[in-house]
Structure 1
Amino acid sequence: MGIIAATKTQPKDLQPLPDRPTASDLKQPLIFDGHNDLLLKVQRAGGLSALSDYMEGGPGHLDLPKAKAGGFGGGFFAIYVPSASNADVDDLEVRDPPYDLPLPDAIGWEDAMTVAMSQFAVLLRLEEQGGLKIARTAREIPEIMAQCKVAAIAHMEGAEAIDPDFETLEVLYAAGLRSLGPVWSRPTIYGHGVPFRFPSDGDIGPGLTDHGVRLVRRCDEMGVMIDLSHLNEAGFWDVARHSTKPLVATHSNAHALSASARNLTDKQLDAIAETDGMVGLNFATAFLREDGRMDADTPLDTMLRHLDHLMSRLGEDRVGFGSDFDGAMVPAEIGDVSGLPALRKAMMDHGYDAALLEKLCHRNWVRVLEASWGH
């Protein structure tokens, strides 16, 4: 949730593009994305009774018809517990920087569990209805996409629904959970996040708690990826010290280009590169723009500058996308998932060749997930 074996033949849908793709190829390569908030959207629209909006098409950024139109191959589907106020971020303030928004209060485990179970049920029911397929191993992702299905990773954004004995973590892992962020900005028993503040960096407050260190170690043992997005800088370095896995931020941008507390400094990017980790580019305009404004009138060149900077620090094998669809205002030239061909065209026009497009669109995510999960 944001502001808002090499010798084998590759599956047909994942064949490399020609060196210079044409307009007819703009739905390829399929994009596997680091973050969306579809489950929250469906829950707010009625939960299990509102599944038709995804299956048949409805409001918002992401549904099955839009996914097919845009060449969306899947991604991380976030389970996110909103605050009771329903106002985690004041959109009006973010439109006119500078801003420093107070974070909502922490949420108790019992309240969080109710919401998390409801959203996980939506994900499971969508799989049952054929709208997507949950990937529990990295190798399943290209297999699912090659079948023209949406590959979904069950991700938890903020660990409020995880009890300190990790019993719920065990159950959720059995159901398919494979990625977890210890916080969504507001504090949890596991750590502290960054507020929505511009201009600022993430060096704000304490990092992981003792419970948080235990959580990181247990997730490493189980094969649950830890997501660094939303953690403050102290928490980032705590994960770096205690995790043996690649460092991954599913939906974060370059602080050097947009001085938001949510973005990563070059020092953090260098640390991610040292672990052979990954960053997914967030499409949220407030985290893209130099002026920090949330404004749909944001050119795609802004996204390309972030991609170039991320690759200059991380290398081309450690960058992908983390759109924040259904959780943020994205550039109008993309609009929603069906607008992803515009992003591919912009990358092609910018000089990215076919091999680089494939890495950015999905292959880098598959690589880092296999390293993180061990399968």
Structure 2
Amino acid sequence: MRNVLSFLCLFGFATVGLAQDYEAIHRRILVVDGHNDVIITSILKGEDIGKRLQSGHTDIPRLMEGGVDVQVFAVWSDDKRWRKGAFRHANDQIDALERVIAQNPDRIALAKGTADIEKIYKEGKIAALIGVEGGNMIESSISNLEKLYDRGARYLTLTWNYNLPWATAAAIEDGKPLPRQRGLSRNGKTIIRKMNELGMMVDLSHGSKKLFYDVLEVSTKPILVSHSNAAALTPHSRNLDDQQLEALKKNGGVVGVNFYAGFLDADYETRLKEAYIKHVGSINKEISTWEQFAKLTKEQQYEVTAPLSKLLDHIDYLVEKVGIDHVAVGSDYDGIEAPPQDLEDVSKLPNLTKALLERGYSEEDVAKIMGLNFLRILKENE
């Protein structure tokens, strides 16, 4: 815990009144976003995130404007498209991220642990961590897992939206859970043990409930749920129910709140559909929520997405259930079409600090949610 304590000493928390400058407070605390999909949506397509982009949620100028000190870059693949070659695809994404870092050495650096984060933070740069989103990318191979760890991957989201031979997903197709919710296989248990040995966090966002509890029985380290919310407020297979939250608390793990309007507000898709029909035209079954949202104007998008208060409600609920030391941020920027009002992209993260302070959270508690809790679980896995 030395690194976490040293960060606390760096900050020197004081009693916070709302009259104080929230932007100064935001700059003073360590800000960690535990999940961002900009590699797949921008970097791998050849877009230069070293410059301010006109699309998407993320680039280096906006990360700096948003005061993001540590950004976890998700390495992701669609299971159906990458039934073969998924490990190679993961490495291609890491290659692309490394090129961004090499092109911007004065602004961003690769971190492989808390010691690196502390060094990079003191240098005034963004620390880039890697999280692999989808166990399909190790292709059921311990050797591939070790190779991705060596390249800097510090968590593995065990599944995405499809079942694997060794782990089952939470996703729903046609209103029904995916078949064969058997949880963790024998090989899956071996993979979890190897992750514990390496110091790679087990991420259970996207995992089925059976997988969730199977992993808790095997893992000797605290688990991460990098980008999920409270099912009690928004019933969705990607959110955690109260029983899971209680188990997470006992495990000492951390849940990173997801910014997606659909996981924050059960009425989002209805509002989106109504707005699309009103402003664009009729809907057929082939039009995704991404496409619907993209067709609306910025003003219309603002009206249909979730209010920031919904995100705060989820944070409040999670803090109540698991405690202030177990809630973090996992925005899912660039992996979602609709972040909440006033959090339209990474540059707006100071608005979350402001809103938490207005809800009555102390600066110390805000610092835990905005970064230190993620840092703590990373250190405990190390």
Out of 109, 124, 128, the residue aligned to residue 148 of structure 1 is 124
Deviations 1:192-226 (A, max 9, x none): 11115798899982212222111111111111111
Query: 1: distance between equivalents of 2:124 and 2:311?
Result: 27
Q: RMSD across aligned C-alpha pairs, in angstroms?
A: 2.6
Gaps of 5+ in 1: 84-104
Indicate whether 1:158 and 2:134 are aligned.
yes
The residue type paired with residue 307 of structure 1 is: I
Tell whether the 8 Å contact from 1:205 to 1:234 is kept in structure 2 after alignment. Answer: yes
Indicate whether 1:302 and 2:310 are aligned.
yes
Answer with 1 or 2: which has the greater Rg: 2
Alignment of 1:85-124 (within 5 A): 105=80, 107-108=82-83, 110-124=84-98
Indicate whether 1:75 and 2:74 are aligned.
no
Tell whether the 8 Å contact from 1:180 to 1:227 is kept in structure 2 after alignment. Answer: yes
Gaps of 5+ in 2: 273-303
TM-score by length of 2: 0.82
The residue type paired with residue 21 of structure 2 is: T
Q: Which residue of 1 aligns with 2:205?
A: 229
Q: Displacement, 1:16?
A: 3.4
Q: Displacement, 1:165?
A: 3.7
Q: Which residue of 2 aligns with 1:102?
A: none
Higher helix share: 2
Query: 1: distance between equivalents of 2:221 and 2:63?
Result: 31
Tell whether the 8 Å contact from 1:286 to 1:292 is kept in structure 2 after alignment. Answer: yes
Q: Displacement, 1:310?
A: 0.5
Q: Displacement, 1:327?
A: 0.5
3-state SS of paired residue (1:371): helix
Q: Which residue of 2 aligns with 1:60?
A: 56
Q: Displacement, 1:190?
A: 2.4
Tell whether the 8 Å contact from 2:311 to 2:340 is kept in structure 1 after alignment. Answer: no
Indicate whether 1:167 and 2:143 are aligned.
yes
Matched pairs, number = 342
Q: Which residue of 1 aligns with 2:113?
A: 137
Q: Which residue of 1 aligns with 2:266?
A: 290
Query: 2: distance between equivalents of 1:44 and 1:249?
Result: 25
Indicate whether 1:220 and 2:199 are aligned.
no
TM-score by length of 1: 0.84
Tell whether the 8 Å contact from 1:37 to 1:79 is kept in structure 2 after alignment. Answer: yes
Tell whether the 8 Å contact from 1:38 to 1:62 is kept in structure 2 after alignment. Answer: yes
Tell whether the 8 Å contact from 2:86 to 2:139 is kept in structure 1 after alignment. Answer: no
3-state SS of paired residue (1:35): strand
Query: 1: distance between equivalents of 2:73 and 2:262?
Result: 21
Query: 1: distance between equivalents of 2:234 and 2:120?
Result: 35
Q: Which residue of 1 aligns with 2:371?
A: 362
Q: Which residue of 1 aligns with 2:342?
A: 333
Query: 2: distance between equivalents of 1:185 and 1:45?
Result: 23
Q: Which residue of 1 aligns with 2:167?
A: 191
Q: Which residue of 2 aligns with 1:344?
A: 353
Deviations 1:82-109 (A, max 9, x none): 25xxxxxxxxxxxxxxxxxxxxx4842x
3-state SS of paired residue (1:255): coil
Tell whether the 8 Å contact from 1:259 to 1:290 is kept in structure 2 after alignment. Answer: yes
Quote the sequence identity (%). Answer: 31
Deviations 1:280-316 (A, max 9, x none): 0000110011335385531111111111110111110
The verdict on how the C-alpha distance between 1:17 and 1:337 changes in structure 2, with shifts beyond 3 A counting, is farther
Tell whether the 8 Å contact from 2:58 to 2:346 is kept in structure 1 after alignment. Answer: yes
